Homo-oligomer: A and B are copies of this chain.
Amino acid sequence: MKKGITRRDEDFSRWYTDVIAGARLADYAPVKGCMVIRPNGYALWERMQSCLDRMFKETGHENAYFPLLIPESFLHKEAEHVEGFAPECAVVTHGGGKQLEERLVIRPTSETIIWAMYKKWIMSYRDLPILINQWCNVLRWELRTRLFLRTTEFLWQEGHTAHASAGEAEEETLRILDIYRTFAEDYSAIPVVPGRKSEREKFAGAVHTYTIEALMQDGKALQAGTSHFLGQNFAKAFDVTFQNRQGEQELVWATSWGMSTRMIGALIMTHGDDQGLILPPRLAPTAVVFIPIFKGQTGHAEVLQYVAQLAASLGKEIPHRVDAREEYTPGWKFNEWERAGVPIRVEVGPRDVQRGEAVLVRRDTGEKITVSEEGLKDRVAELLDDIQRSLYERAGRFREEHSHVVDDYEVFKELIADEGGFVRSFWCGAGVCEDQIKQETMATIRCIPLEDGGEEGRCVRCNKKAHGRVYFAKAY
């Protein structure tokens, strides 16, 4: 595993793969397009899960589990949904040694099976709202795959809620979008643009889709989480009605929303540098690693004892570990933990023991700070906050530098082709223009921002009147 990491400016795509290998986050599996999430990657996913799960529960959501297998006929009940997902499905045709009477698909998303159950559970307004989330695996057959970003199987959470009114469902959709934004910005240190998807880009089966869009270091955008207002589409498809307070039957209103292991890819491409992964402290499974340094055998026991003492002083709130392995040199370990993105490394040698000190090294800047034993915990906590903040600010500056307000289509094309980034332009709202821009530049509308600034102008492609700028970019 002592391979080097390709430089970002040399080959960003190889850099990405090298960072994942260097941090031991994931590996390709024997089945084409599938991945193995290794312990370091999964520990990161667990941190993400616990953070999102807490926010979901605080807003009244409960977890449940629905089956992996869905009758193929269910997909066909919602016309747009089947069109979007059927081509990506893996199909089970045999079970228990026999050919099945009906083909089953492995869930690409669970709206259909869940609404088939909601039909059984919802009778009256008293049964509403239903606020359910599930953590699970899904499959979408992909031809071109990249670890975390696009794999045939991935892990995610999918929320599916049922409401008595359109307004309540719409409110839920935005509440979740805000949870996603908070998670991206405050925990992952990734600045995002919250907005709405165009008709072309929305979820298959939704009335409209909200999204948060992030910008990666290679100038490509990444959709980091989506929240869909499904209207009554799935209630219609599965005939789910409820008796309202007036005693009348009404169709139920729905939302769905998801965030996936893709976020790990977003984290890597937002914060990583040429030495490897950089983890934002609030999501780092290990925030601090202690590395004892020995000069021969002298002071060996003293150093180890002192390190144990320092580590214990951090308490449980700051996740840390001591790397006391004897088979590896300190330099080798520095390198390994650097690649793994651990925010703070603490180096402790015999001299530090004598002086009652320790040397902290920031992963993000490389800065070395000598602290006294007593001051360690406070200084570490302070430093972790500072790293969290500065990662976010650095990503924010990068995004600013790579966002352009453009009214001229030639400039638009050049920018997208050369440096990438977000291009904010007027768009008339027509799908035809959107398609043409995509064909001509490979850029898509990432989102129509929630805050559009109210500006009036003319479509960058067709020059027709337009309201508010939208975000264009090439995307993952």
Which residues from 137 to 155 on chain A have a C-beta closer than 8 Å to any C-beta of chain B?
137, 139, 141-143, 152-153, 155
Does residue A433 face the partner (Cβ distance < 8 Å to B)?
no
9 A–B contacts, CB within 8 A, in A order = A27-B117, A27-B120, A29-B117, A36-B64, A37-B64, A43-B62, A89-B96, A92-B93, A126-B327
**How far is A106 from B90 in the complex, measured between Cα atoms in Å?**
11
Dominant SS among interface residues on chain A? mixed
**How far is A162 from B192 in the complex, measured between Cα atoms in Å?**
42
Stretch at the interface among A67-75, A218-226, A351-359: A67-75
Which residues from 68 to 101 on chain A have a C-beta closer than 8 Å to any C-beta of chain B?
68-71, 74, 86-97
Given contacts A30-B113, A39-B132, A120-B27, contact A87 B92 (CB under 8 A): no
**CB-based contact A36/B66 at 8 Å:** yes
Which residues from 115 to 138 on chain A have a C-beta closer than 8 Å to any C-beta of chain B?
116-117, 120, 126, 132, 136-137
Instruction: Indicate with 1 or 0, residue by residue over A150-168, a CB within 8 angstroms of chain B CB atoms.
Output: 0011010000000000000
Residues of chain B within 8 A (CB-CB) of A66 are: 29, 36
**How far is A84 from B27 in the complex, measured between Cα atoms in Å?**
29
**How far is A126 from B1 in the complex, measured between Cα atoms in Å?**
13
**CB-based contact B92/A65 at 8 Å:** no
Cβ-closest chain B residue relative to A102: B31
**How far is A64 from B29 in the complex, measured between Cα atoms in Å?**
13
Given contacts A65-B36, A65-B155, contact A70 B31 (CB under 8 A): yes
**How far is A43 from B139 in the complex, measured between Cα atoms in Å?**
25
**CB-based contact B39/A64 at 8 Å:** yes
Contact of A91 among B65, B93, B126, B143 (CB under 8 A): B93
Instruction: Indicate with 1 or 0, residue by residue over A359-376, a CB within 8 angstroms of chain B CB atoms.
Output: 000000000000000000
Cβ-closest chain B residue relative to A94: B91
Does residue A384 face the partner (Cβ distance < 8 Å to B)?
no
**CB-based contact B92/A106 at 8 Å:** yes
CB distance from A34 to the nearest CB of B (A): 4
CB distance from A33 to the nearest CB of B (A): 9
Residues of chain B within 8 A (CB-CB) of A136 are: 137
**How far is A227 from B70 in the complex, measured between Cα atoms in Å?**
32
Residue numbers of A with Cβ under 8 A of B are: 27, 29-31, 34-39, 41-43, 45-46, 62-71, 74, 86-97, 104, 106, 113, 116-117, 120, 126, 132, 136-137, 139, 141-143, 152-153, 155, 327
**CB-based contact A117/B39 at 8 Å:** no
**CB-based contact B67/A34 at 8 Å:** yes
Q: Most B CB atoms within 10 A — which of A46, A69, A327? A: A69
**CB-based contact A64/B38 at 8 Å:** yes
**CB-based contact A43/B65 at 8 Å:** no
Contact of A67 among B36, B65, B94 (CB under 8 A): B36
**CB-based contact B90/A92 at 8 Å:** yes
**CB-based contact B90/A95 at 8 Å:** yes
Cβ-closest chain B residue relative to A116: B30
**CB-based contact B91/A92 at 8 Å:** yes
Q: Which 6 A-B pairs have the closest CB atoms?
A: A96-B141, A39-B62, A34-B67, A37-B65, A91-B94, A90-B95
**How far is A36 from B160 in the complex, measured between Cα atoms in Å?**
14
**CB-based contact B94/A87 at 8 Å:** no
Given contacts A91-B92, A143-B96, contact A31 B62 (CB under 8 A): no
